[in-house]
Amino acid sequence: SVGEVYLVGAGPGDPELLTFKALRLMQQADVVIYDRLVSPQVLDLCRRDADLIYVGKERDNHSVPQQGINELLVQHARQGRRVVRLKGGDPFIFGRGGEEIEELQAAGIPFQVVPGITAASACSTYAGIPLTHREYAQSVRFVTGQLKNRTSDLNFDELVHPNQTIVFYMGLHTLERLCAGLIEHGKPVATPVAIVSQGTSAHQRVLTGTLESIVELQREAQLPAPAIVIVGEVVKLRSRLAWFGESERGQANA
Amino acid sequence: SVGEVYLVGAGPGDPELLTFKALRLMQQADVVIYDRLVSPQVLDLCRRDADLIYVGKERDNHSVPQQGINELLVQHARQGRRVVRLKGGDPFIFGRGGEEIEELQAAGIPFQVVPGITAASACSTYAGIPLTHREYAQSVRFVTGQLKNRTSDLNFDELVHPNQTIVFYMGLHTLERLCAGLIEHGKPVATPVAIVSQGTSAHQRVLTGTLESIVELQREAQLPAPAIVIVGEVVKLRSRLAWFGESERGQANA
């Protein structure tokens, strides 16, 4: 008989931010197929005798291409196994979860999806930066900083309006172009920016500056990926609201 | 000695979507101050002998006004108690968590913030609607549908661009004006829309239609709050990707 696939969001890294549902399914799984953004501490919570299969997902260099991952899921489920597809953050927010379950649906394999705390939410919280705030931001937007074909294909006109918070996922390696694009399209150069690197982990570091200064600050600080980039007035609140201990190298204009 | 305040996101309703950190703090709390959006199943998981204080938050009719909530937190912590401030969803996404901890910070009271799975993420997942998708949406935006002074003060120009998903929180009672505003500003009338009511609970119901049809469909279906409204091409995927059982009354053009 056919197995089942659970597409599970592992959250941002801190294993205490896993949900009960995620852990329950991880402990029932015969096979766990996971990628680079799942923390080792989370992986340790899988069933002891489950097969763990790493499918990578380096930027621009997927260890297993997406189509291969889709096929792995189908193949293991067809062998009657309970498969957990474990993804960093949330499967439906830049997680390509939709593509994976489209394949399962087409193959007639039952599936469930478990939301996880997405990086934008967890990392901003652990950095003391509310994504919305009555006075500063009435909306928040999640955008991928990973630009197709290495050319800027973001619609910057949409991103320069005031009173919104923008969170770029995977924006570290395109930081310079993102800041330049926002400035060119009219976003004030003094707009506060934060980089949250390895958010929620013991290695979390936060760098704050402005659209004008952050590129140079990051050049000096060299915070590592994974990281999110937060743009908006709410970043200012961090100076008062930070609560999670970390070593911080730069703090400019914030 | 002074106590501590934990601002905890309770997630969307399904108690299995609580995080381990949320539960741990809920079980340590001397006092739990909670509002309307926290589900009874989640509340049941608080420490048996904790004092539970309800502070409401009906729309336009807060049982305890925000300033009163802020003061309650300070007052209990000053008595040396461990206080959990339990909020539906996530404290930093339309949760006014920033305002509450600004008050704590000003009063010198230690605090921590625990992110929760926000309604947009959980409800879209349980409705089979990925918020981002390679082909349909490269960004997602969370907007409050609660309009100040009952007049439309949304910048609709920002919301009509293609290739984005928009999720309106608390948009049910302003649905007609939201749809009219989007259409007037150029969003195609055939744009798919979903309402997810009481998402992730056993009472979850989903209504799908278009910007043109959803108001009439909801007039007939009368789905109750709390609900989110999802606007964008990704809503189409639901017809293939829905996995969570529910009674559904309307399914139009999707």
Tens of pLDDT, residues B69-107 = 999 999 999 999 999 999 999 999 998 999 999 999 999
Put simply, whether A69 touches B (Cβ < 8 Å) is: no
pLDDT at B253: 32
> Would you say residue A79 has pLDDT above 60?
yes
Per CB-CB distance under 8 Å, the chain A contacts of B5 are none
Q: List the A82-87 sheet strands across, edge first.
A: A51-54, A31-34, A82-87, A4-9, A111-114
pLDDT at A254: 33
Query: If you average pLDDT over every residue of chain B, what do you get?
Result: 91
Query: Band of the pLDDT at B154, cuts 50, 70, 90?
Result: confident
Q: Tokens for B197, please give them.
A: 């009511």
> Would you say residue B62 has pLDDT above 80?
no
Put simply, whether B111 touches A (Cβ < 8 Å) is: yes
Q: List the B111-114 sheet strands across, edge first.
A: B51-54, B31-34, B82-87, B4-9, B111-114
Contact B24 A16 (CB under 8 A): yes
Tens of pLDDT, residues B12-50 = 999 999 999 999 999 999 999 998 889 999 999 999 999
Query: If you average pLDDT over every residue of chain A, what do you get?
Result: 91
Give me the count of residues in chain A. Answer: 254
CA Rg, chain B, in Å?
Answer: 19
> Would you say residue B152 has pLDDT above 80?
no
Beta partners for residue A82, in sequence order: A4
pLDDT at B64: 80
Rounded to an integer, the average pLDDT of A140-151 is 76
pLDDT at B148: 64
- Which residue, chain included where needed, has tokens 């999110």? A228
- Rounded CA separation B154/B163 (Å): 19
Contact B18 A20 (CB under 8 A): yes
Rounded to an integer, the average pLDDT of B192-202 is 96
Rounded to an integer, the average pLDDT of B158-187 is 94
Rounded to an integer, the average pLDDT of A114-141 is 96
Sign, CA dihedral A209-A211-A212-A217, equals positive
Which chain B residue's Cα is nearest to A119? Answer: B115
Share of chain B above pLDDT 90, in %: 78
Tens of pLDDT, residues B130-145 = 999 988 998 999 999 8
pLDDT at A34: 95
Measuring CA to CA, how many Å separate A188 from each of A152, A181, B174, B181, B202? 20, 11, 32, 28, 47
Cα angle value B62/B141/A56 (rounded, 5°): 125
Rounded to an integer, the average pLDDT of A1-20 is 95
Residues of B designated as active site: 35, 57
Q: Please list, in sequence order, all residues whose beta carbon lies within 8 angstroms of the beta carbon of residue B216, skipping any fewer than 6 positions away.
A: none
Are B101 and B107 within 8 A, CB to CB? Answer: no
B66 vs A34, more confident: A34
Rounded to an integer, the average pLDDT of B101-124 is 96
Burial A202-212 (b: 16+ CB within 10 A, else e): eebbbbbbbbb
- Name the residue among B105, B102, B108, B109 with its Cα closest to residue B81: B109
Architecture category of domain B4-114 in CATH: 3-Layer(aba) Sandwich (3.40)
Interface test with A, best of B100, B142, B149, B196 (most A CBs within 10 A): B142
Are A102 and A50 within 8 A, CB to CB? Answer: no
pLDDT at B245: 75
Shortest Cα–Cα distance, A212 to chain B (Å): 24
- Rounded CA separation A138/B152 (Å): 13
3-state class of A33 per DSSP? strand
Selecting from 3.40.50.9100, 3.30.950.10, 3.20.20.140, 3.90.1150.10, what CATH number does the domain B119-241 have?
A: 3.30.950.10
Tens of pLDDT, residues A30-47 = 999 998 889 999 999 999
Domain ranges of chain A: 4-114, 119-241
* Residue A221, burial from CB neighbour count under 10 angstroms (0-12, 13-18, 19+): middle
- Rounded CA separation B125/B241 (Å): 10
B 77-106 residues with CB < 8 A to A: 90-99, 101-102, 105
Concerning whether A187 is annotated as a catalytic residue, the answer is no
Rounded to an integer, the average pLDDT of A75-83 is 97
Concerning whether A35 is annotated as a catalytic residue, the answer is yes
